[in-house]
Chain A
């Protein structure tokens, strides 16, 4: 479950709503729907081919059984029950066992093998009778019908099918079950469903999308309408993971209610601690940005070693370098990662950004955090993940990750690579600069034909900090922060140029005591 909202908490939060809802148990979905699907109503779940409609329908019943001990009935117009059991066994869903335990019942309305002819008006009386019987047999509280499109394909008499589905939806309501019906649509953005199903079936519509954007697939879910009750608007990304099925990433549904602390921890560099006014806050998120090679991985290493030396459990997520490279780098700066690991204080997770989708990365990261329970997290680099997703998907990822670690009060350091060698900003900065508590800039400074490095604490929420741009050097013991650059200006803009000493003195005098000296003007 999401750390910030377990089922009980959600149920309490929304218990006074006029239209009662049923928690689906689908991760994140209950948050964006503010408590699940409307109780004892039918919700239409629409999507194009391959948008995970069947997974949704099956998972709605699975989580009912696994999490709420509520049996369910699955009506299939498309796949045979045996195929459904087989297909979902890979997700660890023991449907066959549940059938035996009378927690799950199938109503098989898949096409019969023989040829069928229509000789006049008919109704779905057979289906109704089977459905009612199955509901009574297992004591079902949930029903899933998959899919209406297949029903229309089997029985070409659209008007009859439409009327019968309407009748089934009404009957389900009277039987006191909460149900989902899936239906096809042809385009991701267009009419809600084929056959205009939404007009006669449901007061509630959920849309699943599988969008191709910049050659990348992105799944989103949207609660389009819930009659008589509120829900979060807009699309939320989700993924279908091999272990848990659908996992929705709620983003803006996450509340900004993090606690705050004044406990400071060492950053790993004594001089940097001084610049930050005495160390970093225990629950703060630090963004370190800089051009390639200007010391971000070093900052990460120092951050980790500072934590481990203070006895904190540290998690390092590396998306640019392999484990061996990281360990070699660290030992080059006098830090022994292997020892930390043996002491159980460090866990290193390396992955190619391209190895999976961003949503799956997020789920993997969250899972690791929940298992390892680190007090400190470093991501090197966050911006490496930029290239595996769309800008929008990346932004959502960053927001979801930061809010998650914030909630768990894990001190975090993210690095971001700026695209230009001097000065400049990155997409990452734009996305998370407002969420982070501290921003540290690492910059190349060109001075009289030399390339030097500068460090600056741009922002430090809730604390005074050094406003100078300081020079730093790197050697076999790590990072050494020295004096501030004097007589030089334009470092942040990327056009450093020297200012004569007397001119600097004059400007200094100008602003002395925060007042201008009229004599100098």
Chain B
């Protein structure tokens, strides 16, 4: 998943980005409103974390502009302004949730995951499709209640596909969203990971959780168990 972090305080921005990268996100950073607005409009973004008090262009204006341009990805506000007036302004401008500074990273991470999951149409952080269960908060995948041991990269691919269950995800999108820019862009790597994932999830090839659509990409194929 590719996140955009727009925050003018360098220490905070770098630390937050590093932690997000450690949690398995690809992160784009912007230090002011102008740059932030450019990234937010021009880059492929799955979720944006926007500080409200930015130089050049205010966070509120970025949110309004992004929504006016028709982007629907979730937006999490970081705000030092704790008053409801500011929170409500942000939320009605088009943001989806807020975190008040100073925050614990866990709080941001929990909200980011919740927003991503919701944007994929899941109502709970435990995603269930057929025999497969993925717990986003614990980064834990089970098949028929049996825990599956996945590497962090395998988990990321699994989560990305399952959150978007039913959608076709191209190899390019997977590389784009899961790696940072400087990572080797070799689509074979993705194929290898998908292959390993299939083996771990479905050793006897009975449930077929991940479909390959030739020339188009991959799709998590199991029906969601959750209504919502």
- A and B from one complex: no
A interface, CB within 8 angstroms of B: none
B interface, CB within 8 angstroms of A: none
